[in-house]
Amino acid sequence: MQAAALHDPHPTRTTPRTDPTVEDPVTASDLIVDPRHRTDWATGAVLGDGVETLERRVADLAGVFADGAALAALDPELLVYRTECVFPVPDGTEGGLFWGTTFIQPGRVGEEYFMTKGHFHATSDRAEIYLTYAGTGLLVLMSRDRTCWAERMSVGSTHFIPAHTAHRTVNVGDDILAFGASWPSDAGHDYASIAADGFSARVLRIGGRPALVPQ
């Protein structure tokens, strides 16, 4: 029993070892433990130890949308998007991973759909994976030479974001867009480049439908 304790991979566990919603099909053993986190596939909610949440409201998004007057007309406290993330190693650790879910509310600022700020990774050669849990959207990508394109997001769509590529997600549907992400723990976020130069295209409602419009 002592050897098993020495090999416990989660010595700082704070959640119960047994998840009551999951029938345990394996023999009880100190060497087989429950995962520290679960993701609700229907909603994208991340459950478990130390999930960190972040909210972006209208007041946090000055300069992000094209129509500043339309943004100013909205309630500054209105939620646009939020994240639930797990950071199992310190920020900047080489060889680690972070992951989490982003939830973007449905809505528009003028004719521009609710979206994330968007960023390059500060360590520019770090890639990322997205996986859609709910809703419909567009993943807008932009290379360093400012070529912009977009991938359609719907339940199950899985997206590889290459290195050196800015990424922003846009909710083009009537329900919450929820997607999972995993990225290297030494990737960091370069928001300043986007704040300075923006993306070279925006997702606007034209004729009732979303279109990627060069700026």
Q: Give yes or no for a contact between 22 and 15, defined as CB atoms under 8 angstroms apart.
A: no
100 binds, among ligand S6P, Zn ion, none (CB under 5 to 8 A by kind): ligand S6P
Residue 169 CB, nearest distance to ligand S6P (Å)? 6
- Is the dihedral angle over the CA atoms 121, 127, 129, 135 positive or is it negative? positive
Q: Which of residues 134-193 bind ligand S6P (CB under 6 A)?
A: 167, 169, 181, 183, 187, 189
39, 80, 86, 118: residue in contact with ligand S6P (rule CB under 6 A): 118
The region of 12-20, 29-37, 68-76, 116-124 touching ligand S6P under the rule CB under 6 A is 116-124
Burial 108-143 (b: 16+ CB within 10 A, else e): bbebbbbbbbbbbbeeeebebebbbbbbbbbbbbbe
| 164 Cβ contact list (under 8 Å, min separation 6) | 120, 124, 125, 143, 144
The region of 23-31, 45-53, 66-74, 115-123 touching ligand S6P under the rule CB under 6 A is 115-123
Nearer to ligand S6P, 139 or 204 (CB): 139
SS3 per-residue string spanning 155-192: CCCEEEECCCEEEEEEECCCCCEEEEEEEECCCCCECH
Q: Give yes or no for a contact between 133 and 180, defined as CB atoms under 8 angstroms apart.
A: yes
Rg over CA atoms, the chain: 20
13, 36, 38, 117: residue in contact with ligand S6P (rule CB under 6 A): 117
Binding mask 63-102 for ligand S6P (x = CB under 6 A): --------------------x----------------x-x
- # chain residues binding ligand S6P, by CB under 6 A: 14
137 binds, among Zn ion, ligand S6P, none (CB under 5 to 8 A by kind): none
Which residue, 74, 1, 72, 69, is CA-closest to 31?
1
Binding status of residue 37 toward ligand S6P by CB under 6 A: no
Task: Please report, as ranges, the residues that interact with ligand S6P according to CB under 6 A.
Answer: 83, 100, 102, 116-119, 128, 167, 169, 181, 183, 187, 189
